[in-house]
A and B are shown apart, each in its own frame.
Chain A
Amino acid sequence: MKEHFLWALSCSVDIPDVSVCALLDQLISLFCFYNGPVRQSYLRHNRSDLARHWARYLTHLQGGSSELHHIFSCLRTIDSTNIDPLLLLKAALILQACQRCPLVLAGCILYRGRVVSTQMPPDLTVKVMVHETESYQQQDPRPVANGMNGVSGTPSSSTGATPVFLTPAELQALRCHPVDKKCRSHCAPQPPPRPRKSRLLSRTLSDTPPDELDIVNLDPAPTPSSCRSSLSDESCYSACLSSEATTPQLSPVHQSEISCPADAKSYDHGLSNGISACKLKEEVVMGKVANGCNKKMDIRTSQSETEARDAFILPNGNGCHANGHHLDQPGATDCLSDQSSCDEQSDSSCRRSLSNGAETPRKAVLPENGEMKRTKTSIGTGHVGDSEMPTHTKNGCRNGTEGLEERETKENGTGRRQDEREESSSPSSSSEEEALVPMALYQHRVRALVLALLVEPHFHTDQAAVEEVYHSSMASLNGLEAHLRTSTPGGPGPHGPYTFAHYDCIQNTLTSNLSGAPQERSFVRATALLHSNFSQTQTLQEAIVRNAGAAVYATRSTAQETYFLQHATAVRNSGIPNHQDSAFSLPSKARHRLLKHGVNLL
């Protein structure tokens, strides 16, 4: 049971339950990513069409990768052993360059269906990859060079965009990178202090749940400036971007810095409001999502409110324009999330209350909002808590839930308007709908190489932004593709007298030396069994499973799981505990053997 639906998935007995659950979760979130909330999708679309979608997503999740990949539900990454690390850096730099455009949240670069570089969390990367695969199949590999001649900005045939839906938690995660601070600070030197701050001050950061903070931020008086024209929005976004640029995993700090100045220049005017807001929001998010972020949050608290606004705005982007008066919460107009200015305030109040209390408070609050926004609220409110919950749970942050609530409230508030607009949100939908934030997935393909960017939904209507991203990445993508195409695949690395699989839980990647030979079957089964045990027993750190002829050793930490099978050893297995048992030498062998694969078990 999840989100009022009963899910069923059939599979072979061999697959551990945890893997099945993970797969199902993945499948559902994948569906929602491209189609929006499930309930809403079924109201709008033909069932048979949706059935095809499900089948396609399932095929994607199952297709192409090895059984081990299924067991871990992990990303397929490019084989970095045969690639100059500088090329990985190049890919990361391309992504950072794209983030100089404020409408770009994060991106990833894929080559032949494998990840070269990504700024997104693994689960999001997986979702993005589905579209990549589909578009690759539909589209013949284009003729070699992309002509980008004179026509500035006009995306070549290789670019495209598709609407997608992010959970608030995902969105927050994308916007909450600590690095951002710097950039933003640079970029938006003058984040105007907002009235909201006062609110923040009253509270103790530590006291307030992260969600609240966000909420608070959002609530605060609308920032009129941010709303205005696209330009202003851009500026705001730019600020956000800069922060993002700093991002997470790949990007080197210096780059972010570099990018920032540029942004600042281009967007100076807009920045004051927007930037601050974005930052704030992100900061808040960080606190919620990321672990160590809380401290940062405190520092930034004053700004947080403003940021929060931005965040809301962002999804909609255009919305602000639509409602002139609403300026404060520009984003509201477009997206479901948007709210009119009035709504915003009310929302904010609601949110606050919500943030503190769990669901109950929210309901209490809702009435306020409901008045203004109610169309959505009636339905949405009831469900919201439940439906939203699942999304959050994935992220594992309590914050997430709170954030969702906030969003819901907002959404509700805006609902009426949006209903009119309709596209983004269907008012009637349950909480889950509300929770999902419409965004867009921009894709630029150069033969087998794909740049995929999560962008604000109005990105494609902003010619300047499209051109900026296109021009900043075009040459580099061409070059990277040429490099990857010409780099020799290289044989399957050293194939020692052992089999191993190393799973990185953080990046969700798998390294192994499996060749796919049938005799590896038992290793895969043992791995599945051990992985299942690890998942069920949090305290379990090492284990050995064996049959008469072989023993598989497994060890795990919070960051990784490693499985190791030594071939061709005389198995001394008396059937009872025996210190001469060869199985007991496995740990040390694994440590030594795997060092050359970059796996450190020491």
Chain B
Amino acid sequence: MATKSSLLKVILLGDGGVGKSSLMNRYVTNKFDTHLFHTIGVEFLNKDLEVDGHMVTMQIWDTAGQERFRSLRTPFYRGSDCCLLTFSVDDSQSFHNLGNWKKEFIYYADVKEPETFPFVVLGNKLDVTERQVSSEEAQQWCQENGNYSYYETSAKDATNVAVAFEEAVKRVLAMEERSEHLMPTDTVNLHRKPRSGAACC
């Protein structure tokens, strides 16, 4: 597995202003900036971490939540190993849009098996006192949509942020292990044998 560590692509999706960029920055740089501008298109940061003995480089892709940036962000969905669906607990609309985000992701990322794809749901802005989305509500949605992990986070005071990202990694690793077990044998080795002699034409 050591060689497998490689790169995991994790993408943050959700309405504009729910705190995707802040979550990423909090996790990777441990900083919180109240004056972030709208993300334009996509951005990403890498983070090395060790999960269950695996060294992993997580590449966290932060996306623009606004509709007008859609054409800029969607090309970068492909290749994602995990999707973090994010909403803000003080914004019920952002919660109701989770389904749309999931659909958009599955469509543009061209996910082959949406049922098993690892999604993690984040309810951000836990620090805000006036909630519009209850924890139960969110839990229920996660249950009904595929038993996703749900974390309530606060990028502002760093609550649950690391845990949530690590959960994403665990989900991905679990997926990979499962798939390894499923199709261990019937594979074709595409690696060429090293040619010993001079190459012919």
User: Which A positions have Cβ atoms within 8 angstroms of B?
Assistant: 84, 86-87, 89-90, 93, 97, 145-150, 152, 255, 258-259, 261-262, 471-472, 474-476, 478-480, 482-483, 486
- B30 contacts which chain A residues (CB < 8 A)? 152
- Contact residue among B45, B75, B76 (Cβ-Cβ distance under 8 Å from A475): B45
- Residue B69 at the chain A interface, CB threshold 8 Å: yes
> Given the known A-B contacts A86-B69, A259-B35, A262-B34, are A475 and B43 also in contact in the complex, defined by CB atoms under 8 Å?
yes
- Interface-facing stretch out of B21-29, B169-177, B182-190: B21-29
A-B contact pairs, 25 of them (CB 8 A): A86-B41, A86-B69, A87-B40, A87-B72, A147-B46, A148-B45, A149-B46, A149-B47, A149-B57, A150-B47, A258-B35, A262-B33, A471-B29, A472-B33, A475-B21, A475-B25, A475-B28, A475-B45, A475-B62, A478-B44, A478-B45, A479-B39, A482-B42, A483-B72, A486-B75
Task: Return A440 CB to nearest CB of chain B, in Å.
Answer: 23
- Give residues of chain B (67-97) contacting chain A, Cβ–Cβ below 8 Å: 69, 71-72, 75-76
Task: Report the bound CA distance from A150 to B31 in whole Å.
Answer: 12
Task: Report the bound CA distance from A255 to B37 in whole Å.
Answer: 8
Task: Report the bound CA distance from A265 to B154 in whole Å.
Answer: 21
Interface size on B, residues (CB 8 A): 30
- Residue B48 at the chain A interface, CB threshold 8 Å: yes
Q: Are B35 and A262 in contact (CB under 8 A)?
A: yes
- A86 contacts which chain B residues (CB < 8 A)? 40-41, 69, 72
Task: Report the bound CA distance from A97 to B33 in whole Å.
Answer: 11
- A486 contacts which chain B residues (CB < 8 A)? 75
> Given the known A-B contacts A147-B48, A148-B46, A150-B48, are A93 and B31 also in contact in the complex, defined by CB atoms under 8 Å?
no
Task: Return B81 CB to nearest CB of chain A, in Å.
Answer: 14
User: When each residue 7-34 of chain B gets 1 if its CB lies under 8 Å from chain A and 0 otherwise, what string results?
Assistant: 1000000000000010011001111011
Q: Are A90 and B48 in contact (CB under 8 A)?
A: no
Q: What's the count of A-B pairs with C-beta under 8 Å?
A: 79
Task: Report the bound CA distance from A483 to B69 in whole Å.
Answer: 12
> Given the known A-B contacts A90-B40, A147-B46, A482-B42, are A471 and B72 also in contact in the complex, defined by CB atoms under 8 Å?
no
Task: Report the bound CA distance from A451 to B30 in whole Å.
Answer: 23
- A259 contacts which chain B residues (CB < 8 A)? 35
Tell me the nearest residue of chain B to A263, going by C-beta.
Answer: B35
Closest 3 CB pairs of A and B: A479-B43, A475-B43, A90-B40
User: Which B positions have Cβ atoms within 8 angstroms of A?
Assistant: 7, 21, 24-25, 28-31, 33-35, 37, 39-48, 57, 59, 62, 69, 71-72, 75-76
Task: Report the bound CA distance from A152 to B57 in whole Å.
Answer: 16
Main secondary structure of the interface of A (DSSP, over half): helix
> Given the known A-B contacts A145-B7, A483-B42, A483-B72, are A475 and B24 also in contact in the complex, defined by CB atoms under 8 Å?
yes
Q: Are A89 and B40 in contact (CB under 8 A)?
A: yes
Task: Report the bound CA distance from A474 to B33 in whole Å.
Answer: 14
Q: Are B45 and A482 in contact (CB under 8 A)?
A: no
Task: Return A8 CB to nearest CB of chain B, in Å.
Answer: 49
- A149 contacts which chain B residues (CB < 8 A)? 28, 46-48, 57
Q: Are B42 and A152 in contact (CB under 8 A)?
A: no
Q: Are A474 and B41 in contact (CB under 8 A)?
A: no
- B35 contacts which chain A residues (CB < 8 A)? 258-259, 261-262
Task: Report the bound CA distance from A485 to B199 in whole Å.
Answer: 34
- B44 contacts which chain A residues (CB < 8 A)? 145, 475, 478-479, 482
Task: Report the bound CA distance from A93 to B7 in whole Å.
Answer: 28
- A262 contacts which chain B residues (CB < 8 A)? 33-35
From A145, A255, A476, A482, residue with most partner B Cβ within 10 Å: A476
Task: Return B27 CB to nearest CB of chain A, in Å.
Answer: 11
> Given the known A-B contacts A471-B29, A475-B25, A476-B43, are A84 and B72 also in contact in the complex, defined by CB atoms under 8 Å?
yes
Task: Report the bound CA distance from A262 to B34 in whole Å.
Answer: 8
Tell me the nearest residue of chain A to B60, going by C-beta.
Answer: A475
Task: Return B198 CB to nearest CB of chain A, in Å.
Answer: 29
Q: Are A258 and B43 in contact (CB under 8 A)?
A: no
- B41 contacts which chain A residues (CB < 8 A)? 84, 86-87, 90, 479-480, 483
Q: Are A471 and B40 in contact (CB under 8 A)?
A: no
Tell me the nearest residue of chain A to B29, going by C-beta.
Answer: A471
Task: Return A47 CB to nearest CB of chain B, in Å.
Answer: 46
- B33 contacts which chain A residues (CB < 8 A)? 262, 472
Q: Are B25 and A471 in contact (CB under 8 A)?
A: yes
Tell me the nearest residue of chain B to A152, going by C-beta.
Answer: B29
Task: Return A253 CB to nearest CB of chain B, in Å.
Answer: 13
Task: Report the bound CA distance from A147 to B34 in whole Å.
Answer: 24
Task: Report the bound CA distance from A486 to B48 in whole Å.
Answer: 25
Task: Report the bound CA distance from A303 to B46 in whole Å.
Answer: 45
> Given the known A-B contacts A86-B41, A258-B37, A262-B34, are A145 and B72 also in contact in the complex, defined by CB atoms under 8 Å?
no
